[in-house]
Structure formats: structure tokens, C-alpha cells
Amino acid sequence: MPVNLIENKPLTSVLLFAGHFVSVRNHAADVSLDFVFQFSYCVIRIKWYTSPPSHRKLHGLICRYIFNPTDHNLKLCGQQMQEDIVCVIGAAHLDIVGDYDSRVCDAIDKAGTIVYSVGGTAYNIAENMAQNSVPVCFISYLKESSLITPIIISRLESYNINTNHLLIVPSIGESGFVAQREDGILITAVTSTAVERFCFSPESYSDVLTKSRLIVCDCNISSASLNNFARWAHEHGKKLVVAGVSELKISRILEVEKNESSPFPFFIVAGNKKEWMSVGVDICFILEKHDVRELCCRVGAEHVIITDSENGYSVFSLSGCRRDYEAPKVARIRSRSGAGDALVAAVCYYYWRCREIDWDKCDRSVARFVSLVLEKEGATAGARTAPDELKVVPYKNYEEYKEVQTEKIVELVGSRFVKIFGYNIPATEIFGFVGLVAMIVSAILTFLVG
């Protein structure tokens, strides 16, 4: 009879500690064991959605304190799991993008295609990192009565992004990004972001910020909010990364207070060539060491990244060094939207993983992250644009929505096994059995290699 790891609690405990022992004995098993634990984590999450409320607390504690799908060391301590996260602060909203061919560029009503997905610079950065096993906490403001709010939350949760610090506010305007692209290149856009109308207080999030290895903000938040996070990061010895958003908003970086005690409030600041030119920065004239240092001093950052579309990107460091990197080679570029956000996510991922920045090695991560986004219509590697994925769901029915989605997963997995084996097996039994087999095979391979 197939083994259910969820119901068989003694066996679950034995496998957890056995897996931890094997991982410690030989780190070569980390990848395979990590897969098993991610798989088991998904099983428990499904069990949580399909369980009565009285049982959800137990399953939630298991997910939080035992399983950590983003930790290759398979730590069993809940406190340890919460350390070294990345806090991302900024906008999340609906992206609506119209694509048209350059041959109809002069027409007012242009025939083309419409692409929509969840976006926002901070959201894109958070999602790209989460897809690469980085533990992320997302901090933002969302409108309570907005049709897109439950979809944003469900997307964040689907990538295991911490949403405990999302603030749902009734009295704010809608947020969104409506753009036109010609042959995949952004021509014009209209943006409305609710987060810029609020002043974030880092003290309100000190519980999660103090556990972060890196704090990332986008320029959608106000200059006052940026200043608050810069001050807090300096006082607590945290690294702060800021991502540019547009020509109008990148100037907020320059408005952040700099003084003798904190001449460089930012660790890394990134933006595209047009954004930097709007504040008088032209990379064509930043050639000598003193020019590079002057740029870093003006921005108040240890490193400044300037992207230039298909020409790649340049990194200017306080040491006076300028490094130029080529854009990744992609067979077919579907859209350049979100490429800059993917670059920032890759840099943050590299620092989170290595605790330092080696730009030549970091470029490999940048190439991987950016390539995946360039091949997508949306602004992230996991962008979802199908109508069924972005259907409107009232916020009050959000719990029902999650249960319906879980039922669809169970039904899908079950139906596939009917076709293969000729009879139906409960999905949780299948997951448990596969998890057990994978754990045993992993342990055997580890001891053979060792």
C-alpha cells in the first residue's frame, strides 16, 4: 500500500532526521534531498488547503518550522530558517501590454496582441529570486477592493514568498502599468502605483528587516521612504539595493540624505541608460577612475549599474573600476520588458548566496536570469498570461479560490495516473509514495558516492 508521508507522522519524523543526517554527511546529496523536501513541502501545502480549519495550524507549523524549500542545508530550526532572507519593498500591480508591428506604428488604432500579467519592479525582482530558491519577504501596499489584489497575493504565495507584511488598505487608488511595445520594444507607458503615496517606516518592519541579509527597494516608493530605509540600513549594518523604475522616479535616489557618517547609503543602485541620462549621467563620458568615483559619490552608492538594452550593462564601483558586460545571447527575444529587473534579481541572488560581489562571476547569474525573461512575453521568467490564470476573484472568496485551485491540482495528477495504471490513486498518496522512493534512492546514492 502506498505510504502517505502526511498521515504517517512517525515515518515523517524518521525521514526528516535521516535526510538531515545524510545531507550533513555528504553535501553532494543536497540537490536531490532538496528536491524531496520541496516535493514534500508541496504535499503539506496541498494538505493544508484541503484540511478543515482545526487541522491547518499543525500543517502550517510543519511547513514553517520543519520544511524550508529554499534552504539547501535542510535546517530543522525555525529561527534559523527565518535568518538571511531578502526583503523586497515596492510595487506590485497588473501589467497590461499591447504589442504591435512597426508597420502599423502610424495608425491610431493599431492591430496587435494584448499581454497581461502581475508585475511591478519590486514584484518582478522578488519573483525572480524566489524562483531560484531565495527566501523572500515582500512588503507593499495593496488596495482592499481591487480585483487584482487576491491574484497578486496568490502569485506571491505560489512562489513561497512571505506576505505577512503586505498591507491591505481600503482608501487608496488603483495601481497598474499600461504600455505599448513596438516589435517588443517599450515605446510608452502609463503607471499608477499606490506605494508612492505612503511613507514607509522601517521600524514597523524591524522584526523581518533585522533578519535580512539584503534589503531591496524600487523607486516606486517615495524619496522619504527611501531615505528612511537608507537610514535604518546604515544604523543596523544592512546592505541596501535600489532599482530604478523610470526617468521621473530615479531622481528620488539622488534626494536621499548623505552625510559624513553615511556618505554611501546604498550598496548597489541600478537603472537603465535613459533613466540615468534624465538626471545628467551619460556613461559615454565616464571613462577615467575619478569620473567613476564621482558618479558613485553623487549617487551615494558603492556600485552603480547602468543597463543599455542590447548593448549590455556597465558596473561602476567606488574603487574607480568600470566593468562592461555584454547582453546574453538569446535565439529569440520575445520581449525586453523586465530584463533590468531580472538583472537586479540576479545580482541580489549572487550576493545572498556568496555574501560578496565578484562581478565577473556574478555575470553568469545575470546572463541566466535575463535570458529566461527575454524569452517570455511577461516581465518575469514565470510570468503567467493565460486568461484562466488571471481570472477575477472577489477578495472575500479568496480562501475558496485557493481550495478550488488545489482541487484542480489533485484532479489533474489523479487523471494522469488513471491513464497510466488504469485506476485512480489519491494524489496525496502518490506524492507521499514518490517522496519516499526519492528519499531512499537519494540516501543509497549518497552512501555509494561517499
36 domain-assigned: yes
Closest-CA residue to 263 (of 295, 301, 227, 224): 301
pLDDT at res. 326: 95
Find the domain containing 445 and state its range: 9-81+402-449
Closest-CA residue to 401 (of 411, 410, 392): 392
Closest-CA residue to 213 (of 189, 237, 244): 237
Same domain, yes or no: 54 and 142:
no
Asked if 225 and 199 count as a contact pair (C-beta separation under 8 A), the reply is: yes
Q: Give this prediction's pTM.
A: 0.68
pLDDT at res. 140: 95
Distance of alpha carbon 250 from alpha carbon 234, whole angstroms: 21
Provide mean pLDDT across the span 361-374.
94
Strand duo 176-182 + 166-169: pairing: unpaired
- The label of the residue with cell 543526517 reads 21
Helices (H), 283-423: 289-299, 339-354, 359-374, 398-421
Same domain, yes or no: 75 and 90:
no
117 domain-assigned: yes
- The label of the residue with cell 502506498 reads 2
Can you read off the three cell numbers belonging to residue 179?
Answer: 504600455
Asked if 126 and 156 count as a contact pair (C-beta separation under 8 A), the reply is: yes
374 domain-assigned: yes
Same domain, yes or no: 184 and 318:
yes
* pLDDT tens digits for range 324-339: 999 998 888 877 888 9
- Of the three residues 360, 389, 418, the one that is the final residue of a domain is 389
Distance of alpha carbon 385 from alpha carbon 94, whole angstroms: 11
Asked if 339 and 307 count as a contact pair (C-beta separation under 8 A), the reply is: yes
* pLDDT tens digits for range 394-422: 444 455 434 444 444 444 444 444 444 45
Q: What is the dihedral of CA 413, 417, 423, 424, to 10 degrees?
A: -10
* pLDDT tens digits for range 185-230: 888 889 899 899 999 999 999 999 999 999 999 999 999 999 999 9
Same domain, yes or no: 90 and 66:
no
Same domain, yes or no: 270 and 354:
yes
* pLDDT tens digits for range 54-96: 444 444 444 444 443 333 333 332 333 346 899 999 999 998 8
- The label of the residue with cell 526583503 reads 87
Three-state SS letters, 215-243: EEEECCCCHHHHHHHHHHHHHHCCEEEEE
